[in-house]
Structure 1
Amino acid sequence: MFRLCKPWLTAVGLMLMTACSATNESTVPRDPAPEPPRVSEGDDACGAGRVQGWVGKPFDTESGGTLRKESGAEALRVMRPGEAYTLDYRAERLNVRLDERGRITALECG
């Protein structure tokens, strides 16, 4: 009789192990980080309006210096996809948003 029960116990054991391994995955949905506050059209303390012609162009260290100089911004922050950054707002800082290919998608104060 013990021989008949052994395959049954093995099957139950495998089912329990499979059930436990499926519950290890995180099912908690993650919300994306909120967008930083937008400034109104008239508030351009960082000079973003002067450098909008750069949108769509590739970004590198040299272009970062040029953007800062042309805009007159006190600081420059590069924002790449998937990277963390603070949500503090600084009107004199130029935010340079990049896409996955390193091209500028937006230039804004903040």
Structure 2
Amino acid sequence: MSKYALSGVMAVFLLAGCAGSSTPDEAPPPPSMSQDDACGAKTLNDYVGQRADGETVDQLETDSAAERVRVIRPGQAVTMDYRADRLNVKLDDQDNIVELTCG
């Protein structure tokens, strides 16, 4: 086989790889926004203003739908990862609960 014929055959195979294929898969839908209270923080507003001692935090774990509870003190470094099933207990300087959120 001559090298021109071989080049032609190679070109056909290369172009066949570029031929139109089936439509690409569609991207999955974005996550549902209904998870904004997956940990049950909205039902725990009665705890705002209470002192966050061990007993109170244990009770929050029991009363919430959260898989885990994270206590956040003023100025404390926290990770920025969002976990809908985690209850964040934000405290003031006197360890009083000021806010309860999921994330």
Q: Identify the match of residue 45 of structure 1 among 38, 42, 46.
A: 38
Q: Does 1:104 align with 2:88?
A: no
Q: Which runs of 5 or more residues in structure 1 are unaligned? A: 1-39
Correspondence for 2:88: 95
Amino acid at match of 1:88: D
Give the TM-score normalised by structure 2. Answer: 0.64
**Within 2, Cα distance between the matches of 1:42 and 1:70?**
18
The counterpart of 2:61, out of the listed 57, 68, 74, is 68
Matched AA of 2:80? L
Structure 2 gap segments, 5+ residues each: 1-32
Q: Percent identity?
A: 49
- Computed over aligned residues only, the root mean square deviation of the Cα atoms, in angstroms, reads 1.6
| CA separation of 1:98 and 1:44: change in aligned 2, threshold 3 A | same
The two structures have a TM-score, normalised by structure 1, of 0.60
